[in-house]
Amino acid sequence: MTLETTKLAVQRWHTMLQNHDMSILSELLADDVVFRSPVAYQPYAGKQVVFFILTNVIQVFENFTYHREFYTEGGCNVVLEFSANVGDKKLKGIDMIQFNTQGQIVDFEVMIRPKSGLEALAVQMGQRMAAFMPTEK
């Protein structure tokens, strides 16, 4: 894994968000990708559920903006700092993304603050997740 491969993958991520082109997301996610939610204790595993989560979060967030990027020395990890609104609640957060050697996302962890913004996101995403995974509580 090179830093260049990771930077190209992150650029594709930004292009996907700018153009609302979710076909890029499908290409960026590894089949065994894991998503670590700021509100769920257990991580979500697998391309189908992670694709659902990320495409819905993109719809829930308003005024979404990335501010800074931090790359690890090894080149396979990046931290993206962002801000967004969920309704009238403002939030700040980071996406911690790990890539494989092909430039696909294998681990995606999100941290969000403050609590009021996280709670607003949890309500919105909880409703969408219940429709997607009706057997889970």
pLDDT in tens, 16-43: 999 989 999 999 999 999 999 999 889 9
Q: Is residue 116 part of a domain?
A: yes
In a domain, 29, yes or no: yes
Phi/psi-derived region of residue 131, left when phi > 0, alpha when psi is between -120 and 50, beta in every other case: alpha
Q: How large a percentage of the chain has pLDDT more than 70?
A: 96
User: Domain holding 55: CATH number?
Assistant: 3.10.450.50
Segment holding 86, helix H or strand E: strand 77-86
Average pLDDT in the 77-86 region?
Answer: 97
Residue 102 lies in a domain: yes
Q: Is residue 109 part of a domain?
A: yes
State the pLDDT confidence band at 137, using cuts at 50, 70 and 90.
Answer: very low
For the chain, what percentages of helix, strand and coil (3-state, to nearest 5) are there? 40, 35, 25
Q: Is residue 137 part of a domain?
A: no
Structural domain boundaries, residue 78: 3-132
pLDDT in tens, 83-128: 999 999 999 999 999 999 999 999 999 999 999 999 999 999 998 8
Q: What is the pLDDT of residue 60?
A: 94
Report yes or no: 28 and 101 within 8 Å, Cβ to Cβ. no
Task: Let me know if residue 34 belongs to a domain.
Answer: yes
Please give the tally of structural domains in the chain: 1
Contact between 30 and 100 under an 8 Å Cβ cutoff? The reply is yes
